[in-house]
Amino acid sequence: MHIDLILDAIYSLPPESRGRLTQDIKEVSYPKGYILLRAQKIENSIYFIKKGIVRAYESSTENEVTFWFGQEGDPVISMKSYIKSQKGYEDIELLENTELYQISTQKLQALFNEDLHIANWGRKLAEQELIKTEERLIAMQFKTATQRYKDLLEQQPGLFNRVSLGHIASYLGITQVSLSRIRAEIR
């Protein structure tokens, strides 16, 4: 996905502002399995997925809990590092060989101070991420595993061809056995 499409999906920028922002974005690539962001580390960059898929998870001594998947066009960001310059909560793993757009948080913050349009774009980015987080929280609190599975099928149908069922079960907050039962019931 081209960076202009990704930026416009967040907030449309005038050409001059878009040029100022894109001049500081670089393309990077990493292999499947690479940990892009690490928990308990202050992250100094944010990313946008050009091609590939990622998952955010938290580890405990017993297991890993996946709580987010990102695909083409999605931002990859530690909000705690981005907003408060504090250590993040999550690890973010690449589930495919992935191409990303990267910008330093420090440079982005400087652009916010210099250009009102870019500052508004950054506000819209944070607002969109807040809404996604709120939707995930509400789904986990008030929807059944079957409802969450159906929502995932509807909202991200291609995910099931690209992500292991173990990661999907973890995301839904259920075991793989329960996921198999839900899938069998829906067919």
Query: Domain 3-142 sits in which CATH superfamily?
Result: Jelly Rolls (2.60.120.10)
Q: What's the pLDDT at 78? A: 92
Mean pLDDT of each 10-residue bin along the chain, 187 residues long? 96 97 97 96 96 93 88 94 91 97 96 98 96 92 93 90 93 92 89
Q: What's the pLDDT at 130? A: 94
Q: What's the pLDDT at 182? A: 94
Residue 159 and residue 148: Cα distance in Å, rounded? Answer: 14
For residue 124, which of 139, 112, 136, 113 has the smallest C-alpha distance? 112
Query: How many C-beta neighbours within 10 Å does residue 48 have?
Result: 24
Give the global pTM.
0.93
Q: How many helices (H) and strands (E) does the chain have?
A: 8, 8
